[in-house]
Structure 1
Amino acid sequence: MTTYISSLTIPSFILEKPAASILLPIALGTAVGFSTRPDRTRNTYRTIKNPPGHPPPAAFGPVWTVLYGCMGYAAYRVWTTGMNVFDAKTTLLAKQGATLYSIQLGLNLLWMPLFFGLGRPIEATADIVTLTGLNAYLTYIYSKVDPVAAWLQMPYVAWLSYATYLSAGAGYLNDWSFEGKELGSKDD
């Protein structure tokens, strides 16, 4: 069981508006992506050894934009459903879901700087394993409040599972260190 912690939760005025709820994770994800310098990230991705089945670098931006939009809309649906019912249990689940959503968003935004910015695959993999488990649980909570929101989370959980494989695979194939891999030194 989780707890609603208002100080760790995205403010309700964002979760109450679909556009704000959708745009917040997209904007934050974009900001983190640009803060880790896309050219350096692409070069690092091409320089390190990646596991079989890794996608081309150009796939990540569109995929994450869609996933961020879906997760934002799911959070909006759960919050508005939970705050507009007369069932205290549903309201509590919606509030707990909002706290978990906020925490998972922070973990999500932390992965890229860990993996690409700092070259720390062990920490990045620990982050994404935690993120995947947290989102599986969040999807369960969402299913108790709004089944559509839970379905909106399913592609995200599936992608996180795949991303966990990619993160752990790259870590393993590079001996859990990107040191000496000439991160960001290749020309595009």
Structure 2
Amino acid sequence: MPTATHVPEEPALSPWLRLAAAILPVAATAFIGSVSTRENIPLWYEGLNKPGFNPPNWLFPVAWTLLYTMIAVALWRLLGAKPRTGPSRQGWWLALAVFLVQIALNAAWSPVFFSAHAIGAALVVVAALLMMVLWTIRLTWRFDRIAAWMLVPYAAWVGFATLLNAAILRLN
């Protein structure tokens, strides 16, 4: 009796197109964050009351550079894990959609917090971001466990950012 062998599917996108599709939304998010914070850190953020566990300002761009790199690699891996047929395809599309929603929430937080000075609204955004990152990890796990693990430090940092945002709201 012949046995069926599983032939791995080729990624739906070429490696270069996948790379661009992974880097562009993350780079756009980083750019929005940079533009939103550049003038507002010295002119507004420095004057806020902050908790004792507030990290030094230099740590934020270092952390985000590392995190954005990991996020882009995770997205690149998820894009390469796309099943062509079957019920997994719908789950993959959901994982991709949730991934993109969390990137959009990430991009929204800096303008809300730094540009609009809306600390309470920013807390809502960052809390929603945390939930979406956790859901992204859960959905991505099914298709690429390395990609899911690469998002864990991001979830930890966003959890810390949520706590920090809440403390700043309370103190101001």
Deviations 1:160-180 (A, max 9, x none): 000001111101110xxxxxx
1:63-74 equivalence runs, <5 A: 63-74=63-74
Mapped partners of 1:144, 1:37: distance in 2: 36
Cα displacement (A) at 1:21: 4.0
Aligned CA distance change for structure 1 residues 29 and 61 (closer, same or farther; 3 Å)? farther
Partner of 1:105: 103
Gaps of 5+ in 1: 1-11, 175-188
Partner of 2:57: 57
Partner of 2:132: 134
Cα displacement (A) at 1:22: 4.4
Amino acid in the other structure paired with 2:61: G
Contact 2:141–2:148 (CA under 8 A) maintained in structure 1: yes
Aligned residues: 161
Mapped partners of 1:15, 1:79: distance in 2: 9
- Look at both structures and tell me which one has the larger radius of gyration over its CA atoms: 2
Mapped partners of 1:121, 1:35: distance in 2: 18
Aligned CA distance change for structure 1 residues 42 and 143 (closer, same or farther; 3 Å)? farther
Gaps of 5+ in 2: 1-11
Aligned CA distance change for structure 1 residues 81 and 121 (closer, same or farther; 3 Å)? same
Contact 1:50–1:170 (CA under 8 A) maintained in structure 2: yes
TM-score (norm. length: structure 1) = 0.77
- RMSD value over aligned CA atoms? 2.2
Aligned CA distance change for structure 1 residues 80 and 13 (closer, same or farther; 3 Å)? closer
TM-score (norm. length: structure 2) = 0.83
Mapped pair 1:46 → 2:41: no
Aligned CA distance change for structure 1 residues 21 and 60 (closer, same or farther; 3 Å)? farther
Contact 1:82–1:93 (CA under 8 A) maintained in structure 2: no
